[in-house]
Amino acid sequence: MYVIGERINGMFENVKRAIQRKDAKVIQDLAKQQLTAGATALDVNVGPAAADAEGAMLWLAEAIRGVTDAPLSIDTAKWDVMCAVVSKIPGAKILNSSKADPEIARQYVALAVEYGAALIGLTIDSGGVPGNAEKRVELGAQFITIAMEGGLAMDKLFIDPIILPVNVAPQNPAHCMQAIAQLRLFADPAPHLLIGLSNVSQRCSNRSLINRAYLAMAMAQGMDGAIMDPLDEELMNTAITADLLNGKIIYCDSYLEAARHV
């Protein structure tokens, strides 16, 4: 399971303050904590309030690179910000994210290939978030084709079916699972299938429970990546246990600890 830690995001008050005060230690602690807890990569998002998105992204990346070489998921919806920072951030990178419109997807694929980065491709286009599984599969398959044509290896492509909150879109979590189950069959080797997990429970009660249950359910369908909170210990335990029950790791009494130190 490829866990991208979600905690370095300017929508969190502590990160927002750290960006404003240039307090690198707050960011570096969050980076180390998430990696120790089992994250493989770290999402980096300056948040909606950052006045200088490019400068804030570069400062965050520099702070994080002071303590780890883990892949950084450059999380911005702005193409110009992505282009400006990608060449300046050293080490492994994930471009997060591109929509599936062909002309947009081709640009992102080319950028990812140029910098040896991975790419998160959303099953959303200018028509908005699909209302069913079929349209997600169609857009995901289109993204896979564009990636192949552009020379991006499948192990560097993460398809994200776009999960919506279950209180707003009751059938959406089921649609995303169906899309995951189908999209993993579209190429061999398959691309990664990933979701922004916390979104499923936005503004719900029992958020951690909903996140845990959906993580296990989506992993049963073939999801092998998530942007999520690795500091939620029970959530990480669920991810590791789902890998166990999918037959991907072998049981020992201390399997939870063992998996965190791989």
Closest approach of Cβ 262 to its own copies, in Å? 17
How far from chain centre, in Å, is Cα 161?
A: 11
- Residue 231 binds to its own copies (criterion: CB under 8 A): no
- Residue 258 binds to its own copies (criterion: CB under 8 A): no
Identified binder of its own copies from the candidate list 45, 212, 227, 232, rule CB under 8 A: 212
Q: Where are the alpha helices (DSSP H) in 22-117?
A: 24-36, 53-65, 79-86, 102-114
Site string for its own copies, 164-203 (x = CB under 8 A): --xx--xx-xx--x----------------------x---
Residue 258 burial by CB count (10 A; 0-12/13-18/19+): exposed, middle or buried?
A: middle
- Residue 153 binds to its own copies (criterion: CB under 8 A): no
DSSP run (H or E) holding 162: none
- Residue reference for tokens 């719900």: 204
Would you call 216 helix, strand, or coil by DSSP?
Answer: helix
The tokens for 27 are 């960011």
Identified binder of its own copies from the candidate list 65, 113, 237, 260, rule CB under 8 A: 237
Minimum CB distance to its own copies smaller for 116 or for 247: 247
Which of these ranges, 38-46, 56-64, 101-109, 211-219, lies near its own copies under the rule CB under 8 A?
211-219
Amino acid letter for position 83: C
Closest approach of Cβ 100 to its own copies, in Å? 24
The span from the CA of 193 to the CA of 85, in Å, is 25
Identified binder of its own copies from the candidate list 210, 227, 228, 235, rule CB under 8 A: 210
Minimum CB distance to its own copies smaller for 70 or for 236: 236
